Amino acid sequence: MKAVIVAGGRASKLVPFAETRPIPMLRLAGKTLFDNSIDLLKKSGVSDVFVVVEHQKEKVIERIGEHLDNGLNLHYVEQGKSRGIGNAILKVKNKISPGEYFLLIYGDTVTSANIFSKIQQSFHSFKCPVASICLPTSNKMFGNVFLNAHMKITKIIEKPKGNDLGNYVLSGAYILPESIFKTLESTKGSMEKALKKLVEGEGLMASMWEDEWLDIVYPWEILTANKILMDSWENSSIAKSAVLESNVTISGTVMIEDDVVIKAGAILEGPCTIGKGSYIGNNSLIRSYTSLGQNCSVGYGVELKNCVVLDNTHIGRLSFIGDSVLGENVDVGAGVMTVNRAIDWKPIGVKSDNKKIDTGKTKLGAFVGDNVVIGAGNTIQPGTVIPHEKTLPACYSVKSK
């Protein structure tokens, strides 16, 4: 079966990270979301994959090139100026043969296990179009699904309002017939209307997904996605080329990649991952659910806690980065503190899409875009969003005259 990955959208609510990358290129738990999808597709038996790209497309195209020798037939298709999932799907119309079914997946979802194998099992059982559904913690932001007793979808509400909510939501994986392209053309590229026509016509069955699932919408959900992936690990992996000096303490499940250097006295509490070529300074503490990207450096006495740090980022000595996400090429000076809770322990709000959103979380740090420079001694308020390319001067208690 062929697969189509929609990877061209620009997530406006995922500032400051969506501006400089397509969401599938976020590196969590040691690999990008795109790499994770490709690995799951390969394990589920898919051999031909078409990736629809647009926003920051060069980054996905480059990654596709790096995958060409892994046994999959990977191709990319440019979406162009058209917008929306339906228009993205129409770009692969000539790649699917008449009468053929294909697997459609959204590139910004995260699961704890192989959702693609599960939906294929359902398809072979039902022998008709299938949509994966799940039961999320909140169903207000996703397409709500209503079922009958035979797992047949009877109604889809894409943007539910008021109390008109179903228990289940669409979870971003479908097996659809080639005829969906004609339906999409009739709806002028509206995926919502095309799915409703499918429900009313040929029919659409539900494949129940009962494991962890997340569609990443807001920046703090990057931390949740990272946790979902790390909780699925079963074994540790330490590369032979990694150098661990004396008195390095490791507990729990860890992933340490090639050419990592961990200096004496450092402590790693799993699950956590240290990317290729990264450096961990003496007496640093890497706590659970920390994902450190490739070619990063962590100075003496730094504490990292439940954070995602992307590639080529440098953190100066005696800093604390907690419950935070740092983009690529971030330069953090010595003694920088991300405060991760309010004094009164109230839930922390984060500004997203020009609105203050209540995250419901009592512990949350900062969200720092790519190429940011944070001078030494800064203390950053909980829930702060720092746009990419921003420079924060060092914070001095005494200045020369």
pTM, to two decimals: 0.94
In the block, residue with structure tokens 């969506």: 18
C-alpha dist (Å) from residue 235 to 37, 39, 252, 253: 20, 17, 9, 6
DSSP assignment letter at 347: P
Same domain assignment for residues 54 and 114: yes
Residue after which a domain boundary falls, among 217, 245, 279: 217
Quick one: pLDDT at residue 67?
81
Kindly state whether residues 172 and 241 are assigned to the same domain: no
Rounded distance between C-alpha atoms, residue 196 and residue 228, angstroms: 31
197 and 301 both lie in a single domain = no
Q: What is the pLDDT of residue 12?
A: 83
| Number of domains the chain contains | 2
Sign of CA dihedral 389, 343, 377, 331: negative
Domain boundary among 189, 217, 245: 217
Say which CATH number the domain at 59 has. Answer: 3.90.550.10
Q: Is residue 51 part of a domain?
A: yes
Domain of residue 274, residue span: 237-392
Q: What is the pLDDT along the chain (401 residues), one digit of tens a residue?
A: 999 999 988 888 899 999 999 999 999 999 999 999 999 999 999 989 999 999 999 999 999 988 877 778 999 999 987 678 999 999 999 999 999 999 999 999 999 999 999 999 999 999 999 999 998 776 556 778 899 989 999 998 876 665 556 678 999 999 999 999 999 999 999 999 999 999 999 999 999 999 999 999 999 999 999 999 999 999 999 999 999 999 999 999 999 999 999 999 999 999 999 999 999 999 999 999 999 999 999 999 999 999 999 999 999 999 999 999 999 999 999 999 999 999 999 999 998 878 899 999 999 999 999 999 999 999 999 999 999 999 999 998 888 77
Q: Are residues 297 and 198 in the same domain?
A: no
Confidence at residue 127, expressed as pLDDT on a 0 to 100 scale: 94
Residue 227, C-beta contacts closer than 8 angstroms, at least 6 positions apart: 289, 306
In a domain, 230, yes or no: no
Residues 102 and 187 in one domain: yes
DSSP assignment letter at 25: G
